[in-house]
Amino acid sequence: MPRENINDLLAFLAVAQERSFTRAAGKLGVSQSALSHTIRALETRMGVRLLSRTTRSVSPTDAGERLLQTVRPRLEEIEAEIAAVSELGEKAMGAIRITAIDHVIDSVLWPRLAPVIAEYPDLRLELSADYRMVDIAAERFDIGVRYGDQVQKDMVAVRLTPEVPMTIVASPRYFETHKVPTCVRDLARHNCITIRLSSSGGLYAWELLDDGRKVDAKVSGQIIVNGAYQLLNAALSGYGLAFLPEELTQPHVEAGRLRRVLDEACPPFAGLHAYYPSHRNSSRALRIVIEAIRHRA
């Protein structure tokens, strides 16, 4: 196969997986027009249309889907073998891509990974903040980080934290005009700051205990955000109640900027886990990263 075909196939795979020329171009580090020209040239050489393009979306045709399903695994095998050969050397080389929630990257991953970057200059890390339940195999991430009860059964899971205490908080300013809730049912009468779920598009229901029973409390309020830091800032500004991990709220509670309520209704979340496919080759770079971020009692 001519070498340019391999490069063009990699370009096609990026567009087919991202379903976007813009995102694929950014990922590949090329211009959108250059990428479009590459795909058209590949289609011309193959004599078949690989992508269906509209003004709003890009998707593989039947031929493109077949190419995606057959060629991608083979190229991944080649990449894995190249990585395995590299492992015969003494250096930890290569890129490790990790997806996690923003505050987890800041509070858990980065403090543990910063020394690794300094120690292994040939190791590259990509940290992607995302609240979606990312398919790490399809989107070519090496590691995902989520709460333990969200990890799929066929994944290798490594604990990063013990159970995560949760809190419901609001600012003293908010309670100047609102009564303190005394039970979960009272939340229906409060301004609750909510999160829009990226995966489903719905609003997150608070996972609470009501007289010892697990309930998904469907709360509502004036403000909807899509991240923990925005949720915290809205609560600090006095706009309502927020449901957040204790590690984010406790410094503000101790400083008097937030007040905790309904502690008995807040069960801890399952600990955070790093996960990756069980069939993935364990490179030295991956082993170093996992060892750095794993939980130590």
pLDDT at 23 over 90: no
> 281 falls in which pLDDT band (50, 70, 90)?
low
How far is 88 from 283, CA to CA, in rounded Å?
Answer: 10
Per-residue pLDDT, averaged over 42-56, amounts to 86
Give all strands of the β-sheet with 259-261 in edge-to-edge order.
Answer: 242-245, 166-170, 259-261
Q: What percentage of the chain exceeds 90 in pLDDT?
A: 53
pLDDT for 4 equals 54
pLDDT of res. 109: 97
Mark which of 37, 65, 86 sits at the end of a domain: 86
Please tell me the predicted confidence (pLDDT) of residue 72.
Answer: 81
**Residues 183 and 221 reside in one and the same domain:** yes
What CATH number is attached to the domain comprising 133? 3.40.190.10
Q: What CATH number should be reported for the domain holding residue 46?
A: 1.10.10.10
- CA distances in angstroms from 247 to 66, 108, 112, 149, 193, listed in the order given: 47, 11, 16, 20, 18
- Identity of the highest mean pLDDT range in 29-38, 157-166, 283-292: 157-166
Residue 1: per-residue pLDDT: 47
Q: What confidence category does residue 32 fall into, taking pLDDT thresholds of 50, 70 and 90?
A: confident
The structure tokens listed for 4 are 């340019």
Check: CB of residue 99 under 8 Å from CB of residue 145.
Answer: yes
Is residue 249 located within the same domain as residue 198?
A: yes
Name which of 285, 290, 288 is nearest 273 in CA terms.
290
* Last-in-domain residue among 30, 57, 86: 86
Same domain membership, residue 197 and residue 172: yes
Which residue did the predictor score with more confidence, 260 or 147? 260
Residues making up the chain, counted from first to last:
297
Task: Give burial (CB, 10 Å; 0-12/13-18/19+) of 250.
Answer: middle
Claim to verify: residue 80 and residue 115 sit in the same structural domain: no
Cβ atoms of residues 91 and 25 within 8 Å: no
- Whether residue 59 sits in one domain with residue 30: yes
C-beta neighbour count of 104 within 10 angstroms: 23
Does residue 178 share a domain with residue 257?
yes
Same domain, 277 and 226: no
Domain housing 50: 3-86
Same domain, 102 and 141: yes
Query: Residue 127 above 90 pLDDT?
Result: yes
Indicate if 104 and 228 belong to the same structural domain.
Answer: no
Position 86 pLDDT exceeds 70: no
Q: What is the DSSP secondary structure assignment for residue 149, as one 8-state letter?
A: G
For residues 153 and 241, state if they share a domain.
no
Q: Which of 86, 119, 141 is the last residue of a domain?
A: 86
**pTM for the full predicted model:** 0.68
Whole-angstrom Cα distance, residue 213 to residue 191?
23
Interacting residues of 278 by C-beta distance below 8 A, sequence separation 6+:
154, 155, 156
Q: Which residues pair with 261 in a beta bridge?
A: 168
Q: Examine the pLDDT at 101 and tell me if it is beyond 90.
A: yes
Q: Are residues 148 and 197 in the same domain?
A: no
Number of folded domains that form the chain: 3
Mean pLDDT lowest for which of 14-23, 86-95, 170-179? 86-95
CA-to-CA distance for 6 and 9, rounded, in angstroms? 5
Mark whether 134 and 281 lie in a shared domain: yes
> How high is the mean pLDDT of the chain?
88
pLDDT digit string (tens) for 152-172?
777 889 999 999 999 999 999
